[in-house]
Amino acid sequence: MAETPKSLKEGGTIEPVREILWGSAAGVRKYETADELPEDMRKLVVKLMVVQADTEFASIQQHRPWLDRAPTLEDRWIESRIVADEARHGLQACRILRDFGEEGQRYIDELLAKREGEHKLDAFNMKFDRWSDVGAFTCLVDRVGVYQLRSFQECSYGPLARAMPLMLSEEQLHLNFGASVLRRMVTDGAKYYGSLAEAQEAVRKWYPRSLDMFGHSNSETSRRAIEYGLKRWTNEEARARYIEEVRKLLTPYGIELPPPEFDRHVL
Ligand SMILES: [Fe+2]
Ligand SMILES: [Fe+2]
């Protein structure tokens, strides 16, 4: 059996979670129940939670085949933790949806019926064919998820804001694990079922889908979400920060990022 990988902490560069007030949210009142929300904001919270829960449940389907195929014992244990974490995140998003009565329950029923290939975002309809896909997905796609969660962290809807600290600390493990998988492929490829070339190929596969996840530039939904204090940055601002963060993380491994416009579906 291969030796235990070095600390997974090495791979993460995202800033630590901290309490700050941002954007218009600093001046926006906190709503505590679904009934209090203005109609437009209520629709937006439901829409955001449906997408959030959909990504959580989809990633369980993507990780599932690797529970007993990951190369080391520790990798298998972390895979099983990730699956448990994503199930909990899906449950948490659905609990928020439940507060929206019959409408919320209808969405939950639909979410539970979705199978592979039926999800809203492209990144969650692609299979993990190789171990490098697991590494690139957790390093790149989960990292976009963290940007979204950090936006919700101080959002004006109390039940959503309070769900964030635990979810964020769990996601941090996923990101660091992804970076560790890619780093081990580059530095110790044969032992960890991969190589620099394979890691590079996986990054080219998942990076464009990650950039798409931030949504359209000049999106009206994104502008409204900032106004209501539900989001922190515009799609374009968040995408630019992300590109810089990933570049700093992967360049030292010898992995190059394709240009931001490469293979994009959402611009
Ligand atoms: Fe998650
Ligand atoms: Fe995750």
- Nearest CA to 158 out of 55, 30, 258 is that of 30
**What pTM, to 2 d.p., does this model score?**
0.88
- Nearest CA to 116 out of 59, 31, 159, 67 is that of 59
Q: From residue 121, give the alpha-carbon distance in Å to each of 19, 76, 84, 115, 178.
A: 30, 26, 21, 13, 20
Mean pLDDT for the stretch of residues 64-88 = 97
Task: Compute, in angstroms, the gap from residue 23 CA to the centroid of ligand 2.
Answer: 26
For 173, half-sphere exposure in the C-beta direction (CA atoms, 13 angstrom radius) is: 15
For 222, half-sphere exposure in the C-beta direction (CA atoms, 13 angstrom radius) is: 16
Task: Compute, in angstroms, the gap from residue 171 CA to the centroid of ligand 1.
Answer: 6
Task: Compute, in angstroms, the gap from residue 27 CA to the centroid of ligand 2.
Answer: 31
Task: Compute, in angstroms, the gap from residue 12 CA to the centroid of ligand 2.
Answer: 13
Task: Compute, in angstroms, the gap from residue 77 CA to the centroid of ligand 2.
Answer: 15
**pLDDT at residue 10 above 50?**
no
The predicted-structure confidence for 130-188, as pLDDT tens digits, reads as follows 999 999 999 999 999 999 888 888 788 889 989 989 999 999 999 999 999 999 999 98
pLDDT value of position 267: 86
Q: How does residue 28 score in pLDDT terms, banded at 50, 70 and 90?
A: low
Q: How far apart are the first and last CA of the chain?
A: 45
Task: Compute, in angstroms, the gap from residue 175 CA to the centroid of ligand 2.
Answer: 7
Residue 236: how many CB atoms within 10 A of its CB?
A: 15
The predicted-structure confidence for 218-227, as pLDDT tens digits, reads as follows 888 888 888 8
Task: Compute, in angstroms, the gap from residue 165 CA to the centroid of ligand 2.
Answer: 14
Label residues 64-75 b or e (16+ Cβ within 10 Å = b).
eebeeebbbebb
Which residues is 85 bridged to in the sheet?
none
Residues, Cβ < 5 Å to ion ligand 2: 142, 171, 174
Task: Compute, in angstroms, the gap from residue 95 CA to the centroid of ligand 1.
Answer: 15
8 Å CB contact between 265 and 216:
no
Q: What is the CATH number of domain 38-253?
A: 1.20.1260.10
Residues, Cβ < 5 Å to ion ligand 1: 56, 86, 89
pLDDT value of position 44: 87
Task: Compute, in angstroms, the gap from residue 182 CA to the centroid of ligand 1.
Answer: 20
